[in-house]
Structure 1
Amino acid sequence: MLLGSNLGDTKSNLNQAIAKIENCLGKIIKTSEMIETQPVEFESTNIFCNIAIGLTTTISPYSFLNAVKSIEKEMGRELDSSAVGGYIDRIIDIDIVTFNNINFESKKLKIPHHKHLCEREFSKALLDSLNIK
C-alpha cells in the first residue's frame, strides 16, 4: 500500500492512517521511510509526505477497498479522485498497489496499481525499499 498526505500535519496524518489500517485491516509487516514529494498530475503548492507499507490481511480486495475508503472519509477526505475527475490536495490518500500477487479489476479497483508500480519514481522507490514488486 502507498499512503500520501499534503494537507495539515502530513506526518501525523500518515501515522494516524497507519494505526487505523493496522486496527481494521491486518498486521503491518513492513514500513518504508517517509519521503516528501511534489504533487503528481496536478498543480499545488502543498508538498506530499508519502510512505509505503506492507501488511497481511484475511479480507477480500473489495472489502479491503471499502475499509480504506472508510478510513479516508473518517480522516476528513470528502471526495476521491474518481468523484472529482482528477487529483486534488488531500488530507489522506491510501492506494492498494498489490494484493497477494493477484490480478483484480472492477469498476472501482484495479490491482496491481500500474501507475505506482511502473510510472511514478517515488512510488517505485518506496515499494522497492519493501521488496514489493
Structure 2
Amino acid sequence: MNLVYLSIGTNLGNKIENLKNAISRLSSIVTIDSISSVYETEPLNVQKQDNFLNIAIEVQTNFPPLELIEKLKKIESEMGRVLSELNKPRIIDIDIIFYNSIILDEVRIQVPHPRAHKRAFVIFPIMDLNPAFVHPILNKSLMEISKNLSNQRISKLENVDIEKIR
C-alpha cells in the first residue's frame, strides 16, 4: 500500500456537502486513514469569488499515481466540475500532494504537487495529519514550510467535525 496525502477544496454551492460527497466517493477507491480539520481560505490571485473550504486526507492505495489521478479526475467530473480556466470557482478540486516520498515529473502529474509549499490551504491541513512529514524535494518538514506562509489568510473552522462525515 502507498501512503498518499490528498488536498480537497470547494468554493461553489453547499461546500460542506461537496466535501462530504467527495469523501464518500473517495472511500470507494482508497482507504481513508484520517481527515484534517476544515479550513476556510480566500481564493489566491483572484477577486470576487467565494472563499474556499479545504481539507486534507491521508489515504492508502494500491493504485499507481497516474491511475489514481485519473480516478480523482473522474470523481471531480461526476460531481460536476467543469475544467476551465485556471483559478475559476469550482465545485470540487482533488489533488495528489504527496505520494509516499516519491518525486514524479510527468505531463499528466507532478508529485509532490509543484505549488504545495506555496499554499497555506494545502500545507496547514496536511500538518493536522502529519506535521513532521518531510517534503521530498525541499527536504523540509511541513512545520518548517508553514513558517513561510504566514502572509496567507487561513482559518480553521472549529465548529465543523469532518470526521463525523465518514
TM-score normalised by structure 2 residue count: 0.73
2:25 to 13, 20, 23: 20
Contact kept in structure 1, 2:37 and 2:55, CA below 8 Å:
yes
Q: How much has 1:120 moved relative to structure 2?
A: 1.1
Aligned partners of 1:122, 1:98: CA distance in 2, in Å?
A: 15
2:52 to 33, 48, 65: 48
Bigger radius of gyration among the two: 2
Contact kept in structure 1, 2:99 and 2:112, CA below 8 Å:
yes
> Letter of the aligned partner of 1:19 in structure 2?
S
1:49-88 CA deviation, whole Å, 9 max, x = no partner?
Answer: 1000000000110000000000000000011xxx52x210
Give 3-state SS (helix, strand or coil) of 1:72's partner: helix
Aligned partners of 2:115, 2:53: CA distance in 1, in Å?
A: 18
Counterpart of 1:127 in structure 2 is 126
Counterpart of 2:108 in structure 1 is 108
Percent of aligned positions that are identical? 34
Q: How much has 1:45 moved relative to structure 2?
A: 2.9
Report 1:48-127 matches (<5 A).
48-79=52-83, 84=85, 86-116=86-116, 118-127=117-126
Aligned partners of 1:94, 1:45: CA distance in 2, in Å?
A: 19
Contact kept in structure 1, 2:55 and 2:125, CA below 8 Å:
yes
Counterpart of 1:31 in structure 2 is 35
Q: How much has 1:114 moved relative to structure 2?
A: 3.0
Give 3-state SS (helix, strand or coil) of 1:97's partner: strand
Please tell me the root mean square deviation across aligned C-alpha atoms, in Å.
1.2
Q: How much has 1:106 moved relative to structure 2?
A: 1.0
Q: Which has the higher helix share?
A: 1
Could you list the runs of 5+ residues in structure 1 that have no partner in the other structure? Answer: none
Name the count of aligned residue pairs: 127
Aligned partners of 2:34, 2:113: CA distance in 1, in Å?
A: 19
Aligned partners of 1:103, 1:57: CA distance in 2, in Å?
A: 17
TM-score normalised by structure 1 residue count: 0.90
Aligned partners of 2:27, 2:126: CA distance in 1, in Å?
A: 18
Aligned partners of 1:45, 1:87: CA distance in 2, in Å?
A: 10
Aligned partners of 1:115, 1:17: CA distance in 2, in Å?
A: 22
